[in-house]
Amino acid sequence: MTSDMNRNDVIIIGGGIGGLAFALHLHAKGIPCRIFEAVPEIGTVGAGINILPHAVRDLAALGLLPALDEVGIRTKDASYFNKWGQHIYTEPAGLDAGYEFPQFSIHRGDLQQVLLKAVIARLGPDAVITGHRCSGVEQDESSVTVHFTDATGKALPPVRGSIAVGADGIKSAVRKQFYPNEGDPVYSGLMIWRGVLPYKPFLSGANTIRAGWMDVGKLMVYPIRNNIDGQGTQLMNWVATQERPKPETFDWNAEAKLEDFFEPYKDWHFDWLDVPDLLRKTPKPLVFPMVDRDPVPTWTFGRVTLLGDAAHPMYPRGSNGAGQSIIDGRVLAERLHERGLTPAALQSYDVERVEKTSKVVLMNRKNPPDAILREAHERTGGKPFKHINDVISPEELAEISASYKRVAGFHQDQLARVAS
């Protein structure tokens, strides 16, 4: 028997960042919805992420800036260095770069909790139903029915609504139903190690640094919480990336050993950061493969569509995955408000977002912001330089960054046009 559960207008499959933000956008438009999440409890998991100004704009419109300020850090600048700690390039970020909205460095789990608390406060305690893993969807001309199982695989009562949105991540059951032959995610040839730990501030205290390059070890470090002990200590997030053969299995939360990745960084003692010390002091680092999926021509099938990582999983090299998910939710809510809970509204969303996010996915493969490191590394042959201007001009470095911003939709000029 189908469970109407007060007849859901929009069924959201997945309670991650994209699904939760989408629910808040729907609520702001007066459209009822309910989220169904596979895990029994939504906890604070993951590590650090950056939310860029174009996505923060959407969160600000939902009234979430004060909550973000309580748990995150407003990013001031981004810097690039080679493996010897020689400075390549620095550019301001967020408000310091002239944007109307800040950029946030934040723990993924903290952002998810901000969104979850807002959903429960605004939509009610029954807005998020946990322990429901999607096993398939079916539809007719006027409705869609979503089937679920519990953690043991036992069938739960199906849920009926007008629209279903698969926001269930890179392993999306909804996407698999419509693209059954897609197979595993596409492996980049790179493995990522990540960790968080209490650590003293460096540089501006709100800087995102990238150093090295893939074949000698790349490292990204940035703070994600301020003054966690009353003495100025920050919660620091780091991401190490190295070339590795394709793993036998794709596990996104496997624990790693220090010796698995430490060797390339053992001599990275910079004036402003002691990298070996940072890595040694990290409890329980995690390892996962850098993967994405090839863009698909459509996310929408009748009354069902995709959102976030289920629609456009991308390499975490442009600080853009979560942000694009947030923007998906805003655009989809707008189209549903304009055109009703109809397949036509989903198609309108599809036309707008598939092409844009496909370009970001491909740009993250080819020329994300860390291409600055690649250019410096290749042009110096991996050796120290005397003056960076002898290697690559400031104008060329700025254009690499600006080119990515334009494709990803957060160049200052683009956001200024939207505001006007």
Q: Is residue 420 in a domain?
A: no
Q: What is the CATH number of the domain that holds 312?
A: 3.50.50.60
Burial class, 196, CB count within 10 angstroms (exposed 0-12 / middle 13-18 / buried 19+): buried
Same domain, 33 and 67: yes
Range of the domain at 250: 196-201+211-292
Boundary of a domain, candidates 366, 381, 410: 366
Same domain, 17 and 153: yes
Q: Is residue 267 in a domain?
A: yes
Q: Is residue 397 in a domain?
A: no
pLDDT confidence of residue 74: 98
Boundary of a domain, candidates 366, 395, 411: 366
**Residue 97 pLDDT > 80:** yes
Contact 174, 304 (CB under 8 A): yes
Percent of the chain with pLDDT over 90: 82
Same domain, 57 and 150: yes
Give the chain's domain count: 2
Q: Is residue 408 in a domain?
A: no
**Residue 1 pLDDT > 70:** no
pLDDT confidence of residue 369: 80
Confidence of residue 411 (pLDDT cuts 50, 70, 90): low
Same domain, 165 and 262: no
Same domain, 259 and 310: no
Q: Is residue 391 in a domain?
A: no
Same domain, 238 and 147: no
Same domain, 323 and 277: no
pLDDT in tens, 326-383: 999 999 999 999 999 999 999 999 999 999 999 989 888 888 788 899 999 999 999 9
pTM over 0.75: yes
Boundary of a domain, candidates 292, 320, 349: 292
Calculate ∠ Cα 240-246-247, nearest 5°.
85
Same domain, 63 and 142: yes
What does residue 230 show for φ and ψ, rounded to 5 degrees?
80, 0
Same domain, 288 and 300: no
Tell me the Cα Rg of the chain. Answer: 22
Q: Is residue 390 in a domain?
A: no
Half-sphere exposure of 148 (CA within 13 A, CB side): 28
String of b and e for 249-276 (b: at least 16 CB within 10 Å)?
A: eeeeeeebeeeebbebbeebebeebbbe
